[in-house]
Chain A
Amino acid sequence: MKKLMIMATVALFIGGVFGCKKGNPTGEFQANVDYFEVRDKPKYLWNELDYLCDSIHKEYGVKVIYEYNQRTIAGTTFFVPADYTKALAYTRIMIKGFWLKPLKENFPQYFTKETPIEFIEVGGFIHFNDITSAGAAAGAGLNAQFYRLGMGGVNNFNKNDKAWLFDHIVTLYHEHAHEQDHKYGRGELYDRVSLGDYYGLSYTSRSVAQSNLDGFFKPYGGYAPEEDFATSVESMARFTKAEVDLMTSKNPKLATKYRMVYKYYLDKGMDLHKLHDVLDSVVYKTVY
């Protein structure tokens, strides 16, 4: 019997070793395929904008994406790439001229630590459910990830429309504020300041003056705390310190939140009042 057991064990062992081929079973990834590999466009296909994006990447560490492939978009958000000539001018003037260059020169600490490493240029706006619906809500930018920022409306770019350019760059800081919020949190104390005062969707029927009296920089800030935070950053980028002071004087809660947001950014190396002066200068007082 003992002999039989030994024989059986040997047989099992042999069967186990030679019974099947072990090579490449289900789910075992091959080492030579990198599924997350970023396949850059080969250099022989580069156009003027590809060279510009490359120089921006080298100088500022931001990869500007104007051309889409399946890695750029998610299956559940809908947006289209920008017109090539618009994207070329937008990248040169808006991205390099208005955003990255002044940011690196004036706020080096903030630039180094907080700048996203990817920026997506979107021709139209961001449609959440269906791209063909004309009237439904559409997002101005992409701000859900820490490392990636995106802005819509690039097809509307017109370098002679300074009001549009200024509005766009302050909106970019608004979208980036959402990222900062996701990344560090605006804090519970912030949310408590205007607790109970938020309008919800009825913000659309409020005027700017009324929203100031109610403790917000603009009606959209009264929509919800996250927009309150982002519109605060946007308003400090948009208006002079004197204008901001006038708004915050209308409601002590607004003044409290203003101080919180101002300090939040200052601690990270960005003086938002200085940012206004810088943006005003590059958009309205330089030649491009």
Chain B
Amino acid sequence: MKRNLIILYCILMVSGLASCEKDVITNAAMDSKNRTVENTKALKNVLQNAPNGWVMMVKSSLSANAYTPIVMKFDTTKNIVDVKTVYGITDPNPSFFEIDSGTGSLLLTFSTSSIMTSLFRIGATASDVTDHIYKVMKISDDSIEIQGYRSGAVYKPEGGVTYKLFKRPANWDWANAAISLDFSNATWRNGIINRDGTFEFEYMDGTPKLTLKVKLGVWSDASITSYRTRDPFVTNVSAKGFLPMYPIVFDHTLPTSNTYNTTTDRLSPLIGHNAIAYYPFTFNAQTNANTIAFASKIKSQYLVLTGMTRSDATATAAIDLNFVAYDKTGEIYLKAKYSLR
């Protein structure tokens, strides 16, 4: 009988072990509708609770250290997103976004044409954005982590760059709606164009200071019209979201030189939202290359305007324009000052 009991015990143990699979993987978490509803609500709250918007720092192939800031303000009552960045002035047409649930994480989608869909189309020169659909990875009160759904071309692995969005710092006044850098305005540019000035670039990472003599100018209306047919964004049917570009004349030389070489040292940067973008457009082969070379020289593809002072309204006023460029985390990486005396 004792032997029988032992056998029975063994059988019980074996059947207990064999009759169920231990590695049961449940999808209970994903099946929960409440989870999606709760997460959507949390994301909406966080998006809305940044009155100045959220900042996404994207990397351009034009620079190793300076990252391009994209400032986004989400209106969750209308699902409209306002995007401001340095490559151009934002088209006032509304752009929509959607919050949707995938089979896993929440998805934040820039669902109609906007600067965000344009960056997807334009590629590496403007940014490392590879989709207009983002997986929402993490949400907290002061940061949102999103990752592009796709990483690039067909056959590339799923999942692009992960961006850690942060709330727009209060002192980033350049990202406010008001435009304070307006070369198309003859009154504003009086005393700023057609004058020799000193451009000083100071780097926070210890890179030696750079000083250049710079003369700014504007193109004729006819030239602007002509160059706009080569606008890198607006003429591209898949890349809307900016108003037609406004390129300016930018001549630079060594501080000791009295002449500008308009073949090798003339470029035509684009005016962005309170920013100058050293973004190439082919108005002739040289200036395209000159713009790329200049971005490499100053180690930034843009400068945003942080302040301006002028002694008076005349063409001979003492004027200072202060600019910065940011690093990956939104800290100042480069300070630049353009002084006219």
Contact = CB atoms under 8 A, between A and B. Distances in A.
Interface of A: 4, 7-8, 11-12, 14-16, 19-21, 24-26, 30, 32-33, 35, 39, 41, 45, 47, 66-70, 73, 75-76, 78-87, 123-125, 128-132, 134, 153, 155-156
Contacts of B98: 41, 67, 69
Interface in B106-150: 107, 109, 111-113, 117-118, 120-124, 132-133, 149-150
B100 A19 contact: no
25 contacts: A4-B4, A4-B7, A8-B11, A19-B15, A19-B19, A19-B20, A21-B20, A24-B28, A25-B24, A30-B27, A41-B79, A66-B112, A68-B112, A70-B102, A70-B107, A73-B133, A75-B149, A83-B113, A83-B241, A84-B94, A85-B93, A123-B238, A124-B121, A129-B153, A132-B153
Interface in B88-111: 91, 93-96, 98, 100-103, 107, 109, 111
Contacts of A130: 152-154
Given A8-B11, A80-B113, A131-B120, A124 B236 contact: yes
Contacts of A26: 24-26
A132 B11 contact: no
A26 B26 CA distance: 6
B132 A76 contact: no
Contact of A80 (B11, B103, B121): B121
Interface of B: 4, 7-8, 11-12, 14-21, 24-28, 31, 33, 78-79, 91, 93-96, 98, 100-103, 107, 109, 111-113, 117-118, 120-124, 132-133, 149-150, 152-154, 158, 236-241
Given A47-B78, A70-B133, A79-B238, A123 B11 contact: no
Contacts of B17: 19
Given A32-B31, A39-B100, A81 B11 contact: no
B237 A124 contact: yes
A21 B124 CA distance: 52
Summarize A's interface: helix, strand, loop or mixed. loop
B162 to A, nearest CB: 18
A86 B117 CA distance: 15
A36 to B, nearest CB: 11
Contact of B96 (A8, A32, A67, A134): A67
B112 A82 contact: yes
B237 A81 contact: no
B321 to A, nearest CB: 33
B107 A155 contact: no
Contacts of B101: 39
Contact of A24 (B20, B26, B123, B153): B26
Contacts of A73: 133
B341 to A, nearest CB: 44
A66 B94 CA distance: 13
Contacts of B111: 67-69, 81
Given A11-B15, A41-B98, A69-B109, A80 B238 contact: yes
Contacts of B102: 70
Contacts of B33: 32-33
Contact of B93 (A12, A45, A69, A84): A84
A155 B238 CA distance: 7
A129 B156 CA distance: 10
A84 B96 contact: yes
B172 to A, nearest CB: 27
A28 to B, nearest CB: 9
Contacts of B78: 45, 47
B154 A155 contact: no
B19 A132 contact: no
Contact of B121 (A70, A83, A132, A156): A132
Contacts of B15: 11-12, 14-16, 19
A128 B154 contact: yes
